[in-house]
Amino acid sequence: MSEEEKNVEEVEKKEEVVQETEEKPAEEEKPAEEKPAEEEKPAEEEKPKEEQQAPQEEEKPAEVESQKEEVKLVEEKKEQKKVNKAPTKRRPSLYEGFEENQQLFRPEFRFQNTDKSKEKIYELMDAYLPRDKLSIQKSIVQHIEYTLASTRFDINEGYIFQGTALSVRDRLLEQWNDTQLFIKMKNPKKIYYMSIEFLLGRLLQNALVNLKLEKCYTDALMDFGVKIEDIYDKENDPALGNGGLGRLAACYIDSMATLNLPAWGYGLRYDYGIFKQVIENFEQKELPDYWLTKGNPWEIMRLDTQFKVRFYGTVKEEYRNGKQCKVWKGGEEVQAVAYDTAVPGFNTFNCNTLRLWRAFPAEEFSFDDFNKGDYQKALRSRDQASYITSVLYPNDNTLSGKELRLKQEYFFSSATVQNVLRRWSRLNLPWKDFPKYNCIQLNDTHPTIALVELLRILIDDYQLDYKDAFDIVRRTFNYTNHTVLPEALEKWGVDIFERLLPRHLELIYLINYFFLEEVKKRYPGNGDKMMKLSIIEESMPKQIRMANLCIISSTKVNGVAAIHSGLLKTMLFKDFYEMWPEKFTNVTNGVTPRRWIHCAFPELSALLTEYNEGRDDWLSELDLLEEIPKKLDETNKWPEFIEKYKVAKSAAKKRLVEFVKKNCNIDIDESFMFDVMVKRIHEYKRQFMNCLYCIYRYNKIKSMSPEERKNVTKRVTFFGGKAAPGYALAKNVIKLINIVANVVNHDNDVSPYFKMIFLPDYKVSSAQIIIPAANINHQISTAGMEASGTSCMKFVMTGSLIIGTRDGANIEIAEKIGEDHLFYFGKNVNEVTQIRNELANGKRNYVGSRLQECFNAILNNKFGNTNFMHDYVKTLIDGGDYYLTCHDFYAYMEAQEKIDQEYKDQDKWIKKCVEAICRMGFFSSDRSIETYAKEIWHVDECEVPKPALTKDARSVSSSNLKSLGDE
Ligand code: NBG
């Protein structure tokens, strides 16, 4: 057993002991003085020398490339072992044993101060709302009339959506309230998932599926003469995220609820989500996405949960309780108000909370100014406060560096930390136990300032010593890194901090001081180490490196795929890894099969359920699908399955055909191979390389005789994705794609065999239509640059094969489904470094004639005016091939040709797709979250008891607590 595995085991054993204690109600608990120290050995002091050395010996720093490859393999194997240990459990279906029209009683909660005079109220709220068709219908129309004030003659699909959503929310609320009560009573360790983005997508279908109410609602709406799909379509996408990072957070809260974890998602409630993209004259135009036009039926504004957040001001020294301390005063204050959305788990009565903060002015407006007649001035501060949560910064994998963005980050962090502390303070437990009950996961560095905020409150408000306070912080926080791109790593000028958050800056210096003392001890006289590891970058102006602050101040740091976590250790955070190897770990990303298979591709979901003995439990235990191909082999039922699969895939493709007609007014044929590349536009993702291949394909078909063309595999290449408004090159790539597509699609020789479509405004709801329709999907980032990628998982789960590089999650997908189930090409991460070195040393002449021909088409404006790409093309040719567009092009072409050949044998192709789908169990976000829960958070599930058929059969939870208070 390796050292790391031993450590994991040890920690697990200790955790078991700790968790047992935590199960007891708060008051009974004996504060376990002995435990905390053991629980999370501060790595710095306690690791024996040999242990610290061992990993380095295995992994000798990056110079020797082949050894790095080995490191990664070791990492991947370790990961596999860990996760294979995860037990699978078959839960019965949610309402199993209950009839649709039976009254179901809610669990009973007894408090020390249960108020007898309220018996009547308790009794009235004893049972869950009924789930039969008529009751559902009544509840929808009641909301339409009594909540929305519509007359029965004005009812349209918009109202029906709202009424339906509100009636579903009622049902969610019961489970939500019960879950929150139950968690309060049990008082387990809680997990707080902080993410500045949550790209939720539409919520109605997801809620119905998780509650197992989709069938009831479908029937209920049928009587109103509407199809439920049309009602789903009425919902605006809450698009409070840019791309993979925000969508990951959304998948993760779904899985946390499904796994019954006592977890909260925390984020910001932006008035404007990611901009709406329209294409005009081939170019991207950005329009504001005011997603709240019709209100938001899901959210609940919590007027009882508000916190003040300060900016600017000064730091003063004061005496409090005879102790000298620092006080941050003055400046401006804004009010953070909580907006909650219920997050139901799949097939469980647990329902968690996503809490998003909205900024309001702390004081309504200045009466002074108002009385003097200066109305505008009076209102200005009001407006300024609300600007904080007006708009999501539309950058994916780049830093915006604006003061307002830092304000958003602090606003979000401060409100969340205050809320966590309020919940904690009701328990009356000693501070040193705080990390035993609370765990905060930072989804990238955006909420880093939260850890400084906690430190500030502990030191300044509660007068803890720095050492104790910092120890609490470090044991509470963990950090997930999502990128190795230098342009995305957050750094903030010391000057901005000094103005906006003066006290936090002092504390960051203090953290850095103590940390650098440790570095000095470990590496005496090594100025280079100090410089690299320091939180402060000694540039002009000085910068605060948020990632360094995170690593120093948290317990675990993880990457999001095996290769990425390997690169964090060997490259990006090499020096930290050398100091604290046990801090670094990997949790490969995952996606929720509820949204991405069941909701997005219902026909496939039904087929999988049919072949899983008629059970849909695979939706929360995705590994169960592995049995399907085995059984098809044994029973010789592949032909039968393949025929049914074709019918299902055809339905998905028809949806996309319709979507394209509606949104692009182009007719496409379902019988074509659908080749899809949808993601944010970025150089490292290499949409441009795909576009070059389209040019090549166009030229090739154009030059064929009609007879030769008959052999061509017919294909539509789809692109979709937004470019950050300030990212000129990315916008130019969109323009190029549209210009080329326009020629291709209007060419009568070529378009019967090949078409190109740019799908505008790619978002979660359109992803649910686009992804299941694909036969091939593009994951072609330069190796080493895509931390994970998650759409690759959704594509494979819905039956399309990857054309991709050895990068991100592609690598692990290939391991799980088999390398012959995807089309790998291109240089691996070590070769990329080598080629970049050669380029730096003057390597040229790497373009080759076929690629040159494609470049010429651009340089000669063959498709129209493409001047805007000329400089870029010239740079590529002239040694600027940083992303290896040219160096990977020929391998890419070969892979494309292989696809064309293999696609001709449809049955063989489909068999591969199905085998791949069924081997994707590892990529369920449930597995990711189980790994976080076990190995990073050390939290246990806290499952709400099932309902009962009679009052007496109800499960009772009692608590010594007098009052539970607000959330
Ligand atoms: C993105 C990566 C993706 C990854 C997601 C989720 C950022 C900073 N990173 O590869 O580019 O899948 O995070 O982990 O947005």
User: pLDDT for 36-55, tens place per residue?
Assistant: 333 333 333 333 333 333 33
pLDDT-based confidence at 963, cuts 50/70/90?
low
196: tokens are: 């500045």
Residue 367, burial from CB neighbour count under 10 angstroms (0-12, 13-18, 19+): exposed
Q: What is the model's pLDDT at position 651?
A: 98
Q: What is the model's pLDDT at position 36?
A: 35
Ligand 1 site, residue 786, Cβ cutoff 6 A: yes
Please name the residues in contact with 508: beta carbons below 8 A apart, sequence gap of 6 or more. Answer: 452, 497, 535, 536, 544, 549
Ligand 1 site, residue 245, Cβ cutoff 6 A: yes
Give per-residue pLDDT as tens, 418-454: 999 999 999 999 999 999 999 999 999 999 999 999 9
Q: What is the model's pLDDT at position 702?
A: 98
Nearest residue (CA) to ligand 1, atom 3: 789
Which among 197, 396, 397, 678 is the best mutation to test ligand 1's pocket, defined by most ligand atoms within 8 Å of the CB? 397
Nearest residue (CA) to ligand 1, atom 9: 482
Q: How far is the CA of 244 from the centre of ligand 1 (A)?
A: 5
pLDDT-based confidence at 965, cuts 50/70/90?
low
Ligand 1 site, residue 560, Cβ cutoff 6 A: yes
Q: How far is the CA of 483 from the centre of ligand 1 (A)?
A: 6
Segment among 78-92, 533-547, 691-705 with least mean pLDDT = 78-92
Q: How far is the CA of 776 from the centre of ligand 1 (A)?
A: 21
Q: Which atom of ligand 1 is nearest to the CA of 243?
A: 15
Q: Which atom of ligand 1 is nearest to the CA of 488?
A: 8
The mean pLDDT value for 249-270 works out to 98
Q: Which atom of ligand 1 is nearest to the CA of 244?
A: 5
Q: What is the model's pLDDT at position 594?
A: 98
298: tokens are: 């899901």
Give per-residue pLDDT as tens, 507-524: 999 999 999 999 999 999
Phi-psi region of 784 (alpha: psi -120 to 50; beta: other; left: phi over 0): left
Give per-residue pLDDT as tens, 215-257: 999 999 999 999 999 999 999 999 999 999 999 999 999 999 9
Please name the residues in contact with 905: beta carbons below 8 A apart, sequence gap of 6 or more. Answer: none
DSSP 130: P
Q: What is the model's pLDDT at position 365?
A: 58
DSSP per-residue string spanning 18-69: HHHHHHS-GGGPPP-THHHHHHT--HHHHS-HHHHHHHHHHH--TTSHHHHH
Residue among 761, 773, 745, 750 nearest 667 (CA): 745
Q: Is the pLDDT of residue 363 over 90?
A: no
Q: What is the model's pLDDT at position 966?
A: 65
Torsion of CA 873, 879, 883, 885, to 10 degrees: 50
Ligand 1 site, residue 558, Cβ cutoff 6 A: no
Q: What is the model's pLDDT at position 356?
A: 98
Q: How far is the CA of 444 from the centre of ligand 1 (A)?
A: 9
Ligand 1 site, residue 789, Cβ cutoff 6 A: yes
Rounded alpha-carbon distances, angstroms, from residue 95 to 83, 98, 342: 30, 5, 20
Give per-residue pLDDT as tens, 904-917: 999 999 999 999 99
Q: How far is the CA of 789 from the centre of ligand 1 (A)?
A: 6
Q: How far is the CA of 786 from the centre of ligand 1 (A)?
A: 7
Q: Which residue has the tokens 């799949």?
A: 346
Ligand 1 site, residue 720, Cβ cutoff 6 A: no
Ligand 1 site, residue 590, Cβ cutoff 6 A: no
pLDDT-based confidence at 581, cuts 50/70/90?
very high
Catalytic residues: 482, 679-680, 685, 790, 794
Ligand 1 site, residue 397, Cβ cutoff 6 A: yes
Ligand 1 site, residue 507, Cβ cutoff 6 A: no
Give per-residue pLDDT as tens, 549-580: 999 999 999 999 999 999 999 999 999 999 99
Q: How far is the CA of 377 from the centre of ligand 1 (A)?
A: 42
Give per-residue pLDDT as tens, 56-71: 333 333 333 444 443 4
Are 549 and 533 in contact by the 8 Å Cβ rule? The answer is no
CA atoms within 13 A on the CB side of 261: 29
Q: What is the model's pLDDT at position 210?
A: 95
Give per-residue pLDDT as tens, 813-862: 999 999 999 999 999 999 999 999 999 999 999 999 999 999 999 999 99
Q: What is the model's pLDDT at position 614?
A: 96
Q: Which atom of ligand 1 is nearest to the CA of 560?
A: 14
Q: What is the model's pLDDT at position 19?
A: 36
Q: How far is the CA of 801 from the centre of ligand 1 (A)?
A: 21
Q: Which residue has the tokens 């240089």?
A: 827
Ligand 1 site, residue 175, Cβ cutoff 6 A: no
Which among 587, 788, 793 is the best mutation to test ligand 1's pocket, defined by most ligand atoms within 8 Å of the CB? 788
Q: Is the pLDDT of residue 20 over 70?
A: no
CA atoms within 13 A on the CB side of 414: 23
User: pTM for this one?
Assistant: 0.91
The mean pLDDT value for 253-262 works out to 98
Ligand 1 site, residue 589, Cβ cutoff 6 A: yes
Give per-residue pLDDT as tens, 686-740: 999 999 999 999 999 999 999 999 999 999 999 999 999 999 999 999 999 999 9
The mean pLDDT value for 772-787 works out to 98
230: tokens are: 């049309």
Q: What is the model's pLDDT at position 16?
A: 37
Q: What is the model's pLDDT at position 81?
A: 44
DSSP per-residue string spanning 644-694: HHHHHHHHHHHHHHHHHHHHH-----TTSEEEEEES---GGGTHHHHHHHH
Q: What is the model's pLDDT at position 914?
A: 98
Give per-residue pLDDT as tens, 904-951: 999 999 999 999 999 999 999 999 999 999 999 999 999 999 999 998
Are 545 and 536 in contact by the 8 Å Cβ rule? The answer is yes
Q: What is the model's pLDDT at position 50?
A: 36
Ligand 1 site, residue 277, Cβ cutoff 6 A: no
Ligand 1 site, residue 396, Cβ cutoff 6 A: yes
Q: What is the model's pLDDT at position 18?
A: 35
pLDDT above 90 covers what percent of the chain?
Answer: 82
Mean pLDDT (the chain) is 90
pLDDT-based confidence at 954, cuts 50/70/90?
confident
Q: How far is the CA of 98 from the centre of ligand 1 (A)?
A: 43
